[in-house]
Amino acid sequence: MIVTTIVILLALLAAAVPVAAALGVLGLALEQIYARFPLSLAMGELAWSTSNSFLLVAIPFFVLLGEILLRSGTAERMYAALVQWVPWLPGGLMHANIAACALFAATSGSSVATAATIGTVALGEMERRGYSERLFLGTIAAGGTLGILIPPSINMIVYGVLTETSIPQLYLAGVVPGIILASLFSLTVLVVCLFRPALAGERMSTSWQGRWRSLPDLIPPMLIFFAVVGSIYAGLATATEAAALGVLAALAVAAWRRRLTWRVLREALEGTMRTTAMIMAILVAAYFLNFVITSIGLTALVNRFILSLGLAPLELLLVVIGFYLVLGMFMETLSMMVATVPIIIPLLIRAGFDPVWLGVLVVLLLETAMITPPVGINLYVVQGLRPRGRIDDVIIGAAPFVLTLVMMIALLILWPDLALWLPRTARG
């Protein structure tokens, strides 16, 4: 049963079937082969219960928030301001890419939106300043992954719904690892440029006057972040209500800068509908697949197989990490998360691991999958922004950051308090 499931899934993905359709077809195939009664009759109820979740309503709000910041020019002004503060470092603009991704991640909740937004405003600077194309593209692809780690994060909402884990606790747990990972990305750029100075690009000159003048452009994203995350931790709003508050704040910023036009609103709403439809299609298909594999006994079979191995908790954790690293090469991250978390996370929780800590670990593994070929979604997002060139350039440029992510995963295992200290402190 396990082998059949894996073979069908890989065959569908190899045939370039869209992810949502692949998960749905896999569920129908398993039903036909193994089910004793027609499980597909429950698809309507599953689709309704999935899309009717109050927590999942936060997803279109966070997508809309990022779209408004992009369409209104707020993200472009933010990037230009960050450029003023980092030109003295070797590889200056590449550090600005990572810093801009981290700051935009604190408002958008999506890695794809983060990579696409910062890539849109940064690629023109790459050509003008003579940077190494590969490493520059790698910083955008890797920096974009911060979108699902630094709160607010769409993937953390999905994880919280799947595992019944507190969303505010997950958000708190992502703050310190997010800051550390952004710093490690920047350190990776620094080390590469010190060993290969030719990759560092043209060193820019700026002044303190220019830096102080740029500060007002950094304030709106930070205010939106504090409005969203602060309202959650202050107990004033749920994650969904805070996401709606963030949209209002973004609209206010766009109006204040006289950029809130009907065209901006139309483009932001169209982009939000496309992205939300894709996410919800994946979620509905993945929930149906989970229903099928539970009903035919595949979940129990996997659990028995893993328990029969007699692994110690750390050994089990390492096997799961290896599983995600391999699976991430072939499967889109959100669908991988929805398809595997309900099966694997309960096993790890029974082995004694904290569900909040596991949420951060899973997100880090998803981040790694986003820049791991051949299916790393951020690689294709960045490649899609270029007028020319092959995707090999993006893959090679992102390779050092895959090692950085593996290092971050190791640090999280060695020091779990990197994720758990802030939630524990907040609980008092």
Evaluate whether 23 touches 285 at the Cβ level (below 8 Å): yes
Measure the N-to-C terminal CA separation of the chain; round to a whole number of Å.
47
Q: How far is CA 14 from CA 10, 26, 330, 403, in A?
A: 6, 13, 9, 26
Instruction: For helices 262-295 and 333-350, give the axis angle rounded to 10 degrees.
Output: 50
Q: What is the pLDDT of residue 357?
A: 96
Q: What is the pLDDT of residue 180?
A: 95
Q: What is the pLDDT of residue 354?
A: 95
| Single pTM value for the model | 0.84
Evaluate whether 161 touches 238 at the Cβ level (below 8 Å): no
pLDDT averaged per 10 residues, the chain (length 428): 75 74 83 82 80 78 84 82 78 86 81 81 74 86 89 87 89 93 93 82 72 84 84 81 89 88 90 82 80 78 75 90 83 77 88 94 92 79 79 88 95 95 84
DSSP 8-state class, residue 296: T
Q: Which residues contact 326 (CB under 8 A, 6 or more apart)?
A: none
Q: How far is CA 333 from CA 103, 329, 382, in A?
A: 22, 10, 16
Closest CA to 197 of 135, 125, 142, 139: 135
